[in-house]
């Protein structure tokens, strides 16, 4: 056969999605927003319904060698709740589909659900359905989350305007550094099963990797403070990559400042120990599930004193590009280098 074969790696994940999304014609008036944001937005009368879905595969997204099943269940829910949060909506329901090989006992599945239900409890969501099936190989978890918001409360990726302030919650890079530690200790264990993994001094970074928290606390606080971010995205692929998504969707540029980027001391020290550049971890580390958002300058005073919101830069015109101003005052162009699955 002489049919053309294009490797998926040639397009990349986002290129593939862009290409496939071209066929997605909107026919229903209730579809307010389809592909292209953290969640889809469906009209539901007074409120809108926000929908997001994630697929997690053993060997690709998690390694059961060091991932406790309750943590995995929690994380599978949290990453979807984080997408709902990134739309500035309140999560309400989830569905969970599982594919299980006979390697898994009922007790193992129960341990997984322990984490799923703990996350349901923490985020106030109801598990309302799913599908359970056999798998010939590894564990597959597919979660879909739905949330509610008023239309005027939604924050899309596309709403950032020039002079808006760029904010991030929490601290960044911890999940990537945690993953490196877990991988290192796994290799140590595999080469000598009598060695006990040394993880005590890395609980912050490994905890962030294994059991990240969706920042619903921030969403609720923003509501109390009367702040609706002009744009928002959750940091799943890395800060640099998310800045690119946000700037592209909003048609703007951005300048951020190295000395404003939040990093935990343990993340910094562990990165140095691993010979990784801490700032690279902050810029390109994925899976922190913190929020990146923009606010109008008039909202600054409302958030100024918030201990967990950091003002890392501002939005510029698109033609000004995307820059990081280093501690020494040099402006370097930001490259989007997020997680690459393909």
Q: Which residues between 6 and 45 bind a second copy (CB under 8 A)?
A: 6-11, 13, 16-17, 19-20, 23-28, 30-31, 33-35, 39-40, 42, 44-45
Is residue 280 near a second copy by the rule CB under 8 A?
Answer: no
334 binds a second copy (CB under 8 A): no
Residues 6 or more apart in contact with residue 188 via CB below 8 angstroms: 195, 197
- CB-based contact 131:51 (threshold 8 Å): no
Please tell me whether residue 193 binds a second copy under the rule CB under 8 A: no
d(Cα 92, Cα 74) in Å, to the nearest integer?
16
Rounded to the nearest whole angstrom, what is the least distance from the CB of residue 67 to a second copy in the complex? 16
Give, as ranges, the residues between 153 and 172 that touch a second copy (CB under 8 A): none
Q: Is 278 left (phi over 0), alpha (psi -120 to 50) or beta?
A: alpha
CB of 34 to a second copy, least distance (A): 4
Kindly tell me which of 48 and 182 has the beta carbon lying closer to a second copy. 48
Min. distance of Cβ 212 from a second copy in angstroms?
17
Q: Which residue has the tokens 């200790």?
A: 185
**Rounded Cα distance, 127 and 10, in Å:** 38
Beta-bridged to residue 291, according to DSSP, are 234
Given the rule CB under 8 A, which of 124-132, 169-177, 204-212, 281-289 is the region that contacts a second copy? 124-132
Q: By CB under 8 A, is residue 187 in contact with a second copy?
A: no
341 binds a second copy (CB under 8 A): yes
Q: What is the 3-state secondary structure (H, E, C) of 173-237?
A: CHHHHHHHHHHHHHHHHHHCCCCCCCCHHHHHHHHHHHCCCCCHHHHHHHHHHCCCCCEEEECCC
Closest to a second copy by CB, 73 or 159: 73
d(CA 259, CA 282): 12
**Toward a second copy, which CB reaches closer, 133 or 333?**
133
Structure tokens at 201: 């001094």
Least distance in Å: CB of 133 to a second copy? 5
Q: What part of residues 71-110 is at the interface with a second copy (CB under 8 A)?
A: 92-93, 95, 97-100, 102, 104-107, 109-110
Beta bridge partners of 168: 292, 310
Residue 251 interacting with a second copy (CB under 8 A): no
Residue 223 CB, shortest distance to a second copy, in Å, is 17
């Amino acid at each position: 056969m002489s049919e053309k074969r294009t490797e998926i790696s040639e397009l990349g994940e986002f290129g593939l999605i862009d290409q496939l999304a071209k066929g997605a014609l909107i026919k229903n008036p209730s579809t307010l927003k389809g592909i292209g944001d953290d969640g889809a937005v469906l009209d539901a009368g007074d409120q809108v319904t926000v929908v997001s879905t994630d697929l997690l595969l053993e060997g690709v997204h998690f390694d059961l060698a060091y991932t406790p099943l309750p943590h995995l269940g929690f994380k599978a829910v949290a990453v979807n709740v984080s997408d709902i949060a990134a739309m500035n909506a309140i999560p309400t329901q989830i569905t969970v589909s599982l594919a299980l090989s006979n390697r898994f006992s009922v007790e193992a599945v129960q341990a997984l659900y322990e984490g799923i239900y703990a996350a349901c409890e923490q985020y106030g969501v109801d598990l309302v359905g799913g599908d359970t099936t056999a798998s010939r190989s590894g564990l597959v978890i597919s979660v879909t989350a739905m949330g509610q918001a008023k239309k005027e409360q939604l924050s899309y990726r596309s709403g950032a305007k020039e002079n808006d302030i760029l904010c991030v919650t929490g601290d960044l890079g911890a999940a990537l550094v945690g993953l490196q530690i877990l991988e290192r200790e796994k290799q140590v264990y595999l080469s000598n099963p009598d060695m006990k993994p040394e993880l005590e001094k890395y609980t912050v970074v490994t905890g962030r990797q294994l059991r990240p928290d969706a920042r619903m606390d921030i969403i609720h606080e923003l509501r109390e403070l009367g702040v609706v971010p002009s744009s928002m995205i959750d940091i799943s692929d890395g800060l640099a990559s998310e800045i690119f998504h946000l700037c592209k969707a909003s048609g703007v540029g951005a300048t951020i400042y190295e000395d404003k980027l939040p990093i935990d001391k343990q993340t910094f020290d562990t990165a140095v120990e691993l010979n990784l550049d801490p700032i690279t971890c902050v810029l390109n580390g994925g899976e922190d599930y913190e929020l990146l958002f923009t606010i109008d300058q008039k909202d600054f005073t409302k958030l100024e004193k918030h201990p967990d919101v950091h003002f890392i830069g501002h939005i510029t015109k698109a033609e000004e590009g995307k820059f990081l101003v280093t501690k020494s005052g040099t402006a370097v162009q930001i490259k989007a280098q997020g997680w690459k699955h393909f």
